[in-house]
Structure 1
Amino acid sequence: MKTAFLCAGAACALACSTSAAAHNSGADDHAPIGVMADHTHHKGEFMLSFRVMHMAMAGNQIGTDGVSDDTIATTISNRFAGMPMQPPTLRIVPQAMRSDMYMFGGMYAPSDAVTLMVMGSYVEKEMDLLTYQGGMGTTQLGTFRTNPKALGDTKVSALFPLVSRSVDDGARRDQVTLKAGFSLPTGSTTEAATVLTPMNTTSTMRAPYAMQAGTGTWDLEPALTYKGWRGRIGFGAQASAAIRLDRNKWGYAFGDVYQGTAWVSYRPARWVSVSGRVLGRSTGNVRGIDPAIMGPVQTANPDWQGGQRVDLIAGVNLLATRGALAGHRLGLELGAPIYQDLKGPQMAGDWHLTVGWQKAY
């Protein structure tokens, strides 16, 4: 969370360097920071961005109901039972997971009709797990932690401004932006983890699907975004997807993801806006299986990866309008799920934070 505190300090610096009458741009010109590919640029303009996304998970669910560690260890069948050293039930149970993604982005408009965008990432994940003694029963051997970190996949996109209209001296504005994008398989899919086994030994093996930094597949990532303003009130919606075009070299593909989000914002002054957002997501199970991912743990089962989720998210956008920081933007969003229906057992989402910086030139 060190990054969040540093960004909070940057927010204070931005606020101290703003002036409501400096120029026509406003803090709400961009969508909340967790919404990407929401705007385009004029010919010759470019923009740099940096985002940090932190996600926390805790506890386990089957469908919409919580499930205890002991229940998982004694009643949930192990997909790999019957293979050497594989017990009949799950004997390793996740306790908590944290994920930090650092995203570096760039946008450039070769013409008013199209803006090109590229984004790379570095991913660090951490999971705490509890191991039960082999066989049956509820005897616990202890806990252990895995912590893979690696480069993630690279996103490349073209953004097209379909609608851009303004009336009443800009008090009423509407924009529609189309994104045609791809995710390139630059992220690692071979991260390893050292685990405490039910036999009370340690073993190093390939980390489960959710702990990998990349997908290993080429993915189609379209999006359509609408933004509107009526005076100090802003609002918008975006529909997006991640569609896997093939299976990776290990023989699997992550499930397709379909998302819809909508938000409302209020701008009390030109340099600041606050927002509320709802995000819905549907994720499919992993298709296929990596033969190197195996074990008496739910995260190794490709059929326990999908589900539906709805989050409520609060945010703030800040824009410096004068001084040395003029034109710099800082955004923050904090959210948590209000509904989760998980194919599982699966770890349940707890909360997430996104902090980001943007500067157009």
Structure 2
Amino acid sequence: MKSIKIILTEVVCIATTLLNAQEKETENTWKGSRPDGHAPISVMGDHYHGKGELMFSYRYMYMNMEGLKAGSNNIDAQDVLIPNGGSYMVSPTQMPMNMHMLGAMYAPSDKLTLMSMFNYISMDMDHITAAGGAFATESSGLGDIKISALYKFLNKNKQSLHGQLGFSLPTGSIDNKSVTPASNGNEVILPYPMQIGSGTFDTDVAVTYLGQAELVSWGSQLKGTFRFGENDNGYRLGNQFGLNNWFAVKAANWISFSARVQGLIVNEIEGLNPALNPNMVITANTVNSGGEYIFGGLGFNFYVPEGNLKNFRFGFEFSSPLYQNLNGVQLKQKETITLGVQYAL
């Protein structure tokens, strides 16, 4: 009888030790269940989930481009027109874009999280002409579908590291058309920036580091987008390479405030669409594509830690370029506003 009691006592002691160790290990890991447990809402693929968890998200992004830059210098749109010594018959002046994004994430295991993203894009572009006129074009439609897998490499000492491999399916149109003053009432194909999709199968590769302390968190994401082959219209968009860094302060268990800095390099478009005249408008000339950017953003995350809406999140961020050096002559980036909601089950 004594031996059974001793064995039971030892089993209880071992179980208690293991539970305590597990609790300490859990306390010492990076956690997503706090307002700064996710990156600023504009960052994609920033976090993973535990086995069986499911998350749905909706994001809205407004991005504005206005005015022209040649390299890093501001220029007037009139200066690129033929009557003023320029080379083009038409120049854009502004291009606002709206994007609606629906996303889903599911974790079949603690190591692996699957992610998908669907989006709808609408754009307008205002122009002036060498003859002194003005007109606008518009483009809208479903964008390219993105699917990704995120793999957790480690999560300890309140630090986490995971990788991402994703693919973009060319479901967005590259044949959007509109009527212009020179088209005699006929619809003609729009220049490269006004097309919704890339037209190619693209690959995203990223690695994300996350860290947390009691009241602050930080993160860094290195990401590349690689495009292969050329689309049905004879070109492919440039590869992209970005480094995102952010820092957040947990003001309460339901809200955090963040600051973000991103460096981005975009390569020029390769090839050309034979249906576009590169001397008509700057957006139809592939020389005027790609560049180097530095963006800064400020935002907040709102999080519901308990109750019927537990794990509901709302995020907001306002960002603006701190530096941009553009290839050729292009519309310059202005403000970007991103907001979204996320709900985990």
Give the TM-score of the pair, scaled to structure 1. Answer: 0.84
Deviations 1:304-345 (A, max 9, x none): 111011111001000012343221101111010011101121
- Judged with a 3 Å threshold, the aligned counterparts in structure 2 of structure 1 residues 24 and 283 are, in CA distance, closer, same or farther, namely closer
1:257 to 240, 244, 263: 240
Partner of 1:85: none
The higher radius of gyration belongs to 2
Q: Secondary structure at the match of 1:33?
A: coil
Deviations 1:205-257 (A, max 9, x none): 11111111100001110111011011101111101011002211111000001
Distance in 1 (CA, whole Å) between partners of 2:289 and 2:32 is 46
Partner of 2:52: 44
Q: State yes or no: 1:179 paired with 2:177.
A: no
Partner of 1:270: 253
State how 1:15-54 maps to structure 2 within 5 Å: 25-54=33-62
Partner of 1:223: 206
1:194 deviation in Å? 1.4
2:76 alignment partner AA: S
Partner of 1:92: 90
Q: Secondary structure at the match of 1:213?
A: coil
Q: State yes or no: 1:147 paired with 2:131.
A: no
Give the TM-score of the pair, scaled to structure 2. Answer: 0.88
Give the count of matched residue pairs.
313
Deviations 1:43-68 (A, max 9, x none): 11111111111100110010011111
1:265 alignment partner AA: A
Partner of 1:137: none
Gaps of 5+ in 1: 1-22, 78-88, 134-139, 167-172
State how 1:1-361 maps to structure 2 within 5 Å: 25-74=33-82, 89-133=87-131, 140=132, 142-166=133-157, 173-197=158-182, 201-294=184-277, 296-361=280-345
Distance in 2 (CA, whole Å) between partners of 1:297 and 1:96 is 13
Contact map agreement 2:302 2:315 (CA 8 A) in 1: yes
Distance in 2 (CA, whole Å) between partners of 1:76 and 1:235 is 50
Contact map agreement 1:196 1:203 (CA 8 A) in 2: no
More relative contact order in 1 or in 2 (CA 8 Å, sep 6+)? 1
- Judged with a 3 Å threshold, the aligned counterparts in structure 2 of structure 1 residues 334 and 202 are, in CA distance, closer, same or farther, namely same
Deviations 1:252-285 (A, max 9, x none): 0000011111011100101000000001111011
Distance in 2 (CA, whole Å) between partners of 1:175 and 1:322 is 24
* Identical pairs, percent: 36
Distance in 2 (CA, whole Å) between partners of 1:68 and 1:127 is 16
Partner of 2:22: none
Distance in 2 (CA, whole Å) between partners of 1:310 and 1:243 is 20
- Judged with a 3 Å threshold, the aligned counterparts in structure 2 of structure 1 residues 321 and 60 are, in CA distance, closer, same or farther, namely same
Gaps of 5+ in 2: 1-30
Q: Secondary structure at the match of 2:326?
A: strand
Deviations 1:186-215 (A, max 9, x none): 111111121123x9x554211111111100
Instruction: Provide the alpha-carbon RMSD of the alignment.
Output: 1.6
